[in-house]
Structure formats: C-alpha cells, structure tokens
Structure 1
Amino acid sequence: MNDLVIGGMPQERKTLNLGDYAEEAVLITEEEPAKQKRPLFIEANTVDVTMEHLKNDCIIPVFAKDNEATLSHPAFIETVQDAASTFFQGEKIGLPDIRVSHVIKGRIPEAIHKPANQLLESDKTIYYERCAFVIEIPTVYETVNGNRLTLTVGGVRAYNHTNLYSKKGMERFKVFVGFICKVCTNLCVSTDGYLSNLEVTNTKDLYRDVLEMLHAYNPAKHIHLMQSLGDTFMNEHQFATLLGKMRLYQCLPQGYQKRLPRMLLTDTQVNAVAKAYISDNNFGGLGSELSMWKFYNLLTGSNKSSYIDSFLDRAYNATELATGINAALHGEERYRWFID
C-alpha cells in the first residue's frame, strides 16, 4: 500500500502518502468492539458534562462593550465534529467526551435581591470558563508497542484567553488531531496535528481551519514516530538522572533555562512520573530498562492533572521531550543536558 486516503473533503486535496513509513505503519480500518468504561482523558478539577447541558442550562458570555455573543462551547464542539465528519467521511465518528471547569455563577434579574439560600434553580445562571473535549474515530486505529491507539480529534476553549471586556474580536481556540491510547486514554499529539493558537470570529472560519489542520496531518508519520520510541531504552540510572534534571529545570536561572529545550511539566507532575515508574501496571519500569515509549506514556499520564487551558500545550510538550531525549540517547546534543 503506497497511499493512505482517509475520508474526503468538499474540495480537492492530496492523499496522505505513507512513503518510507508504509512498511511499519499501516493503519487498519474496521469496526471496533463495544465501548467500555475507561479512564478519563483529563482529570485535574474537571467535571463531565453533556452537550444538552451546555446548550440548555448554560448562558453564552458576551463581549462587554458591544454585547456581541461569543462563540459558545457547543458551537465550537459541533464545528470540529462537523469538520471531522466531512474529512473522515465513511468512518465512524464517536460522540464528544466533554470536560469542563471553572464554573461562573450568576442569577437572573428577577432574583437579584434574593438571599443565596432562597434561590431556585430557575433563578440561577451558569457557564464554564474552560472546556475540553475529544472525539474518537474508532474505525481508524493501530497497535503500537502492544497498545491500541485510536485516531482522535478534539479541542480546548478557555474564555480567560479572550478579552471579554472589549468589543467583539478574535476568539482563541486550541484544536488537535492525534491518537489516544485505549488502555489509559493518554493523548498523543504531534507537530502537524496541533493548532495552539487558532484565532477566529465565526464558525465558518473555524470549520475551514480545522479542515486544513486535518489535511496537513500525516497519521502514518505520527504512528511511525511512536513506534520508533519502543526501540530505545534507558536504564534506571539514566532515568533517575533525567528525573533529577527535570526537577532542577524549574529552578534554573531564566537565562540558563532559555538555552535549553522547553519543559512544561510541573514538579508535581514530575513526581507523578516517578511514582508511575514504580507502580503503573502498563508503563512502569522498576527493576528493568524503560523504553522511551513507556517513558512517553508516563509523561502523558502525568499531564492529566493539568488544568484545561494548559493541557494540550503540555501534551504536545510531552512528545517534544520524549522524541528529544530519545534522540539524545542516540548521541544528538539538543536534549543532552537532561540525561548527562
């Protein structure tokens, strides 16, 4: 198989060429077994909500100076879902898994003078400052180093990244396409499958930009990259050195830190990596060599404790760290500081 075509677009586009990756990364398309209860894709302080709740029970914030409505969370989710359905035409598109945080509470004008303990549910208004969602495409998957990965699209919206005190302007979103590890729901995000600062004013532009991201993404190349991580191992001494350097990184002088590759994980998350190395049944490595694939999943697993607004940036940074340190173990210099 020399070419991989997934879905279709209402305009001309090139097929995704497997090229050198064809032998090792062949995506399989077929029906998936019935869905079972699984771990959360993000934890932190988030709660699970439905699309119906967002549409029926939540208000839509406006820009203060002209009272123009923002793009709502449901509009964002449905636009990404529509773009995925168009691009991956013929594939099964799952329902969105939605997590929200930072609830903003209010009340209707008629209840403005009521004591809080006398408020009825009909008197209250809410919306969520931050929203994250993933949509699986379960008929497109591959097995990497013994773990089943399913193609996934999703995004993040955080109103704290948009100036709501001005007139209506650009609104900021983050969207991605990548793979999710079924055993743990860790997200795998790569360079060509992530838009970290997508700014639009309407759903038409959002739809177009998501389609362009899907078109630019090469799933076979991403699969090959993750497969290659399983071919490199570090011993316990190297892993301990790496953990120590990751802890040290946060305390470095700013000028020194800027000369190194970025590392976005917090000290708490680095501690979670150390704990999972000992106790994680799927990706732990105590007493044996640790593959870079397992190390990558220790990073993405610790990222589940991130707040929504930093979640995707750290997911992408986990890929940067894993591939960079993998290269350093083969003699490259850029990430060498972390293991020397």
Structure 2
Amino acid sequence: MRNLVIGNLPQNRRSLNWGEYAEDATLVMEEQPTKEKRPLFIEANTMEATLDHLKSDCIIPVFAKDNEATLSHVAFIETVQDAARTFFQGEQIELPDIRVSHVIKGRIPEAIHKPANQLLESDKTIYYERCAFVIEIPTIYETVNGNRLTLTIGGVRAYNHTNLYSKKTAERFKVFIGFTCKVCTNLCVSTDGYLSCLEVTNTNELYRAVLEMFNRYDPAKHIHLMQTLSNTYLTEHQFCQLLGRMRLYQSLPQSQQKAIPRMLLTDSQINNVAKSYIQDENFGSLGSDLSMWKFYNLLTGANKNSYIDSFLDRAYNATEMAIGINAALHGDDKYRWFID
C-alpha cells in the first residue's frame, strides 16, 4: 500500500496519500481501452449521445441580446477530458458516456413555411437543453465490501440554469470526481470532489477550475469514508423507521425542514429505495440487517431516476445522508431525527 504509484503525475500535483486511509488498494494497468455493456449511470428521461452527434447534428445556442455563442456541450466535455488527461497522465482514460435530455427543436430559415410532415432532416435543427457525462479511469480503483469502485470524473450542463435571454455572462456547470460502483454504475460523490455551481466564461477558466478540483480531491479519504459504511448496520425496524421519516420530511413545514439536515430524494425515489431493499440482487437485505454501505447504494440507485439538472446534487446528498445516518447510529445528534 505504501508503494502505490498512480501514473506519471504533473509536477505540481500533491500526493494522493492512499496509504493513510484506504486498505489494500490495487493498481492494474490495462493496455487497451474497452467499452463494456453495463447499466446506465442515469436513466430518467435521457438518451445516449456521442460527441460526433453533438458536434455534427446539433446547433449551439446563443445569448439573445448580443448573439454571443454559449459554451457547447462538446466544449464542456472535451475540456474536462483534456484536464483529466493532463492530471492523470499515464492512466487509462475511457471514452465519455454521454446522456442528454430535453431536446429543443427548430428549423432552418429556408424551411420556415414548410408543414411539419414535409420537413427534411436537413431542414431541422436541434440542441439538447441538458447533458450529463461520466469518464471512468479504470486503472485507479479500490474494492469496498466486495464491490469494485473505479475513479470517475464527469459533469452536468443544463441551459435552463443560464439566462440565455440576456447578454453573454458567466455560464453554470457542475463537475465532479468520485467513484463508480462497477456492479451497478452508481456514482459516489463527496464534498471535496464536487463543484455544484461552477461559473465560467470560457474553456480556459473551466480547465483551470477542473484541475483545481482534481488537486483538492482526496480519493483515499473518500474510500475510507465508504469503507466505514460497511461496518455499521440498520435493523429492519430501523430501516423502516428511516424510510418513514424520509417520507415525512417532504411534508414538513419549511421552518421544520430547515432545522433538519436536507434530504433531496422525492417520494417516488424513496419508494424505489423500499422496493430495492426487497428486490435488488446486489444491495437488498429483506429479512436481515442492512449495512450502511448497502443503504448508500440503495439511495444512489434510486437517484438514477432524477432529471439531469438535479442528478449530481442528489448524488452528493445521498453521500451526506449515508454518512450522517451512519454517525447518528454511533451517537451523533445531527441526523438523529431520521432514526428516532
């Protein structure tokens, strides 16, 4: 563990300090990138897209008052990809998995008077209001409770978070670095690996901000936090109590909600947590105690049904919930309301 080396890192990168926290980390170098069939990292109302499709078939929205172009989804993805290649030199960087939603349709000026059923493909224009992507680095991984986790970076762009009716201004992005649970592609996002409101005006600013996030992120500490979840269990009674409190939280007056740590899952997602407790072949535990690691994965699994623009916020909140309730089971008061 003390001799672990991860690629050829840039000169100004700090040590990752894996030996201080994680246990028995293993580094395996793969010669060729591979793309395997696996579960989706997000499911709700999304479709798969490729960089070629986004480059060739999609227009780029502009700011209405000065006709200045926005930063495209392609520019966003490729900038984060370039930052990853710089920071993780020598590692295997996989191709991005891209999901898009909320297609905005238009037509070229020459086709403005054509009936819709007579439009040719060349007459149509589209772009996607929302885009999410992940890029795995499979040569950096660890195992937690028998589940392989691979280092993963990614981001979310939602044009509805930027005022396109104004002059050009800073545009908002969400970026993260964390781990993906390979058995289910659930994302594990921590505090130091998440920028929930990154505002930039160009790709140079974006590139620098992503590199700074990589530098701040401590993967060994993140792994250690997830390893601790494997050592604590909820009884079935406590799990049912917790589900009931999560449902109750949504109906509390705002004044009472503010006094309790936030919980972002919707009622339907909480229902999915309950169903997965019974049915999920990897993390279900009907009739037995439920480890907090499995509970965490039930939360992140339910989060796959979030829309793109709320997906990463809820992924991060799942981490907050799992770690907070884990602490409450050991006597901490902050999340005590959920299990009392």
TM superposition shift of 1:31: 2.4
The one-letter code sitting in structure 2 at the alignment partner of 1:172 is R
Residues 1:324 and 1:315: Cα distance change in structure 2 (over 3 Å): same
Which residue of 2 is the match for residue 174 of structure 1? 174
Which residue of 2 is the match for residue 238 of structure 1? 238
Which residue of 2 is the match for residue 205 of structure 1? 205
Residues 1:34 and 1:171: Cα distance change in structure 2 (over 3 Å): closer
The one-letter code sitting in structure 2 at the alignment partner of 1:232 is T
SS at match of 2:220: helix
The one-letter code sitting in structure 1 at the alignment partner of 2:233 is F
C-alpha distance in 1 between matches for 2:261 and 2:27:
35
Contact persistence 1:104–1:128 (CA under 8 A): yes
Which residue of 1 is the match for residue 37 of structure 2? 37
TM superposition shift of 1:7: 4.7
Contact persistence 1:27–1:220 (CA under 8 A): no
Which residue of 2 is the match for residue 158 of structure 1? 158
Residues 1:334 and 1:27: Cα distance change in structure 2 (over 3 Å): farther
Contact persistence 2:20–2:220 (CA under 8 A): no
TM-score (norm 1): 0.97
TM superposition shift of 1:26: 2.5
TM superposition shift of 1:336: 0.3
TM superposition shift of 1:12: 1.9
Contact persistence 1:65–1:167 (CA under 8 A): yes
C-alpha distance in 1 between matches for 2:240 and 2:252:
18
TM superposition shift of 1:5: 5.5
Q: Deviations over 1:82-113 (max 9, x none)?
A: 00010000000000000000000000000001
Residues 1:31 and 1:10: Cα distance change in structure 2 (over 3 Å): closer
C-alpha distance in 1 between matches for 2:84 and 2:320:
25
Contact persistence 1:25–1:220 (CA under 8 A): no
Which residue of 1 is the match for residue 293 of structure 2? 293
Aligned pairs, how many?
339
TM superposition shift of 1:18: 3.4
Which residue of 2 is the match for residue 222 of structure 1? 222
C-alpha distance in 2 between matches for 1:90 and 1:6:
8
Contact persistence 1:149–1:180 (CA under 8 A): yes
Which residue of 2 is the match for residue 17 of structure 1? 17
The one-letter code sitting in structure 2 at the alignment partner of 1:319 is T
Contact persistence 2:19–2:220 (CA under 8 A): no
Q: How does 1:293-312 map to 2 (within 5 A)?
A: 293-312=293-312
C-alpha distance in 2 between matches for 1:163 and 1:9:
38
Q: How does 1:129-140 map to 2 (within 5 A)?
A: 129-140=129-140
TM superposition shift of 1:267: 0.3
Which residue of 2 is the match for residue 324 of structure 1? 324
C-alpha distance in 1 between matches for 2:69 and 2:35:
37
The one-letter code sitting in structure 2 at the alignment partner of 1:279 is Q
Contact persistence 1:54–1:73 (CA under 8 A): yes
The one-letter code sitting in structure 2 at the alignment partner of 1:102 is H
The list of structure 1 runs, each at least 4 consecutive aligned residues, that deviate by more than 3 angstroms after superposition, is 1-11, 32-35
1:26 equivalent in alignment to 2:57? no
Residues 1:8 and 1:163: Cα distance change in structure 2 (over 3 Å): farther
Query: How many percent identity over aligned positions?
Result: 79
TM superposition shift of 1:15: 1.3
TM superposition shift of 1:27: 4.7
Q: Deviations over 1:106-148 (max 9, x none)?
A: 0000000111111000000000000000000011111110101
C-alpha distance in 1 between matches for 2:123 and 2:163:
27
Which residue of 2 is the match for residue 248 of structure 1? 248
CA root-mean-square deviation: 1.5
Contact persistence 1:3–1:15 (CA under 8 A): no
Structure 2 unpaired stretches of 5+: none
Structure 1 unpaired stretches of 5+: none
The one-letter code sitting in structure 2 at the alignment partner of 1:302 is A
